[in-house]
Amino acid sequence: MADLTVDFGHMLLLSELCEGYGAQSSSVRVTGTLAERNAPEDTCVIEHEGARVVVETAFLEGFAPGGAASPQLQFIGEIVAPAAAAAPHPPRVRARVWRDVSGMDMNLYKEAIMVQRKFLMDQDAAGDGAA
């Protein structure tokens, strides 16, 4: 039987995605402030600390961020190869889930990501030593 599970989306900061972390087709969770929206092309651009990522929103039924003028949004989706157009080009994520996280403390979120990564690395190291 085929494995139909979907990867959960590794948390990446936009700057990490822009630096090349995350392989094409890998599932990621990215968070940033809505900078641009192109409804006819089903794309938007989110940014955080100068890093920008294009998000393809065609699979997001009812994608209509509202409320704040520049809402903070979080997306889970897959990294896609950028079109062979002009370089340099920001990374692209084909989103399958989104949520509005306006008001989230991004500094605390970044710290939580780092703490989680350290914990998981420590767990992996402890598991390797026990085998």
Which residue is associated with the tokens 């997306």? 75
Q: What pLDDT was estimated at residue 87?
A: 57
Question: 11: part of which helix (H) or strand (E)?
Answer: strand 10-11
Q: Which residue would you say has higher pLDDT here, 77 or 126?
A: 77
- Which pLDDT tens digit goes with each residue over 48-105? 999 999 999 999 988 888 766 789 999 999 999 765 554 577 899 999 999 999 999 9
Supply the pLDDT for residue 37. Answer: 93
- Which residue in this structure is represented by tokens 């699979």? 59
What is the C-alpha to C-alpha distance for residues 123 and 11, in angstroms, rounded to an integer?
18
pLDDT for residue 83: 59
Q: Which residue(s) pair with 22 in the sheet?
A: none
Do 125 and 119 contact (CB within 8 A), yes or no?
A: no
Q: Please report the sign of the dihedral spanned by the C-alpha atoms of residue 31, residue 37, residue 38, residue 42.
A: positive
User: Both tokens of residue 71?
Assistant: 């809402």
Higher pLDDT among residues 23 and 54, named by residue: 54
Domains of the chain plus CATH, in order, are: 10-104 (2.40.50.140)
Distance, CA of 75 to CA of 98 (rounded, Å) = 4
Q: Tell me: the pLDDT tens digits for 31-57? A: 999 999 999 999 999 999 999 999 999
pLDDT value at 130 more than 90: no
As to burial, measured by CB atoms within 10 angstroms (0-12 exposed, 13-18 middle, 19+ buried), residue 65 is middle
pLDDT value of residue 45 = 96
Alpha-carbon span 49 to 19, nearest angstrom: 13
* pLDDT band of 26, cuts 50, 70, 90: confident
